[in-house]
Amino acid sequence: MTVHFKQVTIVGVGLIGGSLGMILKQQGLADQVVGVGRTIENLELAIKIGAIDRHVQDPQLVMPGTDLVILATPIESYSGHLKQWGRYLAEGTIVSDVGSVKGPLVEQAESLMPPGVHFVGAHPIAGKEKSGAGAATSDLYQNALCLLTPTARTNAEALGKIRHMWEVAGSNVHSIDPFLHDWILGAVSHLPHVAAFALMNALSDLQQHTKGDAELLNYSGGGLRDTTRIAASSPEMWRDIFLWNKDNLVLMIETLEKHLQRMKSYIQQNDEAGIEHEIAKARDARQRLK
């Protein structure tokens, strides 16, 4: 399959959108990559690093000539964007995204597509705790999983083109039901972020109760670094992810609370076997993580 786009417009040229823009340009998948964003500084930087060719203030002006739009802003903003410029898209245009939640978001995006415009949900499972175009790299998606979330309404040709684009980016592409996606990613991505944010905040509280002028963080080894790297992630992005995957995540947080309570009571009761059993179970599960 040869896939080529005349003009790709990336809405939100940060870590994820910027990395994709670099690939589109380097791999010759698009004649023109246009950026839409909030701050001129970030968009200028995106030009400098080769993520986009130009940027526009008013997306309406470029949408009629665009054959692929990538939504790459925090997910709560998607509907506002689609309502602002969706009606200017030409028939046959593909709108895709990179959002970390899919079920309700895909339903919303599909309902906002003008006739003849095709939505394809996508989620690269790659990234890091850094934000903005300055953090973008063209190898971000190499050997990473990329999940596509087609529905009964998805256009097969558009799906094939988005699959091809992510394969060219170096990703292993799989399709999955959007709601199953949210359950799985809730467990393996969203819950760990909840835990990392809570752990760092707990340490801040404990700092208040620390005698003298000892800085707790100055005494940490690799363990704290390993368990909390992702606590440095974007508050805006994670706020939206937590709220859009609320039902799954609340249930998952309750499961985590159950395990914290269990360990707490084993410790309180000096239950050596209980503590050891909990840790051994976790260690076995951790060894299966590749």
Ligand X SMILES: O=C(O)C(=O)Cc1ccc(O)cc1
Ligand Y SMILES: NC(=O)C1=CN([C@@H]2O[C@H](COP(=O)(O)OP(=O)(O)OC[C@H]3O[C@@H](n4cnc5c(N)ncnc54)[C@H](O)[C@@H]3O)[C@@H](O)[C@H]2O)C=CC1
Q: Within positions 170 to 199, which residues make up the interface with ligand X, using CB under 6 A?
A: 189
CB of 37 to ligand Y, least distance (A): 4
CB of 180 to ligand Y, least distance (A): 17
- Please report whether residue 14 would count as binding ligand Y according to CB under 6 A: yes
Closest by CA to 119, choosing from 163, 89, 72, 159, is 159
- Please report whether residue 75 would count as binding ligand Y according to CB under 6 A: yes
Contact call for residues 148 and 73 (beta carbons, < 8 A): no
Angle of CA points 169, 241, 281, to nearest 5°: 90
Beta strands in the chain (DSSP E): 5-11, 30-36, 54-55, 68-71, 94-97, 118-120, 122-125, 145-148, 172-175
Q: Within positions 78 to 117, which residues make up the interface with ligand X, using CB under 6 A?
A: 100
**What does the DSSP 8-state code read for residue 217?**
G
Nearer to ligand X, 91 or 226 (CB): 226
128, 246, 258, 281: which one binds ligand Y (CB under 6 A): 128
Write phi, then psi, for 191 (nearest 5 degrees): -60, -45
Closest by CA to 246, choosing from 167, 186, 172, 170, is 186
Question: How many residues in the chain?
Answer: 290
Helix axes 103-111, 78-85, angle to 10 degrees: 10
Nearer to ligand Y, 124 or 150 (CB): 124
CB of 238 to ligand X, least distance (A): 8
Encoded one letter per residue, x for contact with ligand Y by CB under 6 A and - for no contact, window 172-211 reads ----------------------------------------
Nearer to ligand Y, 195 or 266 (CB): 195
Nearer to ligand Y, 130 or 225 (CB): 130
Contact call for residues 150 and 179 (beta carbons, < 8 A): no
Would you call 35 helix, strand, or coil by DSSP?
Answer: strand
- Please report whether residue 230 would count as binding ligand X according to CB under 6 A: yes
CB of 102 to ligand X, least distance (A): 10
- Please report whether residue 241 would count as binding ligand Y according to CB under 6 A: yes
103, 121, 127, 178: which one binds ligand Y (CB under 6 A): 127
98, 122, 162, 173: which one binds ligand Y (CB under 6 A): 98
**What does the DSSP 8-state code read for residue 125?**
E
Residue 98 amino acid letter? V
245 binds, among ligand X, ligand Y, none (CB under 5 to 8 A by kind): none
Closest by CA to 94, choosing from 146, 145, 166, is 166
77 binds, among ligand Y, ligand X, none (CB under 5 to 8 A by kind): ligand Y
CB of 159 to ligand Y, least distance (A): 19
Q: Binding segment for ligand X among 106-114, 125-133, 155-163, 258-266 (CB under 6 A)? A: 125-133
Residue 244 parent element (H or E): helix 235-244
Provide the 10 A C-beta neighbour count for residue 5. 19
**What is the contact surface with ligand Y in residues (CB under 6 A)?**
11-17, 37-39, 42, 72-75, 77, 98-100, 124, 127-128, 131-132, 234, 237, 241
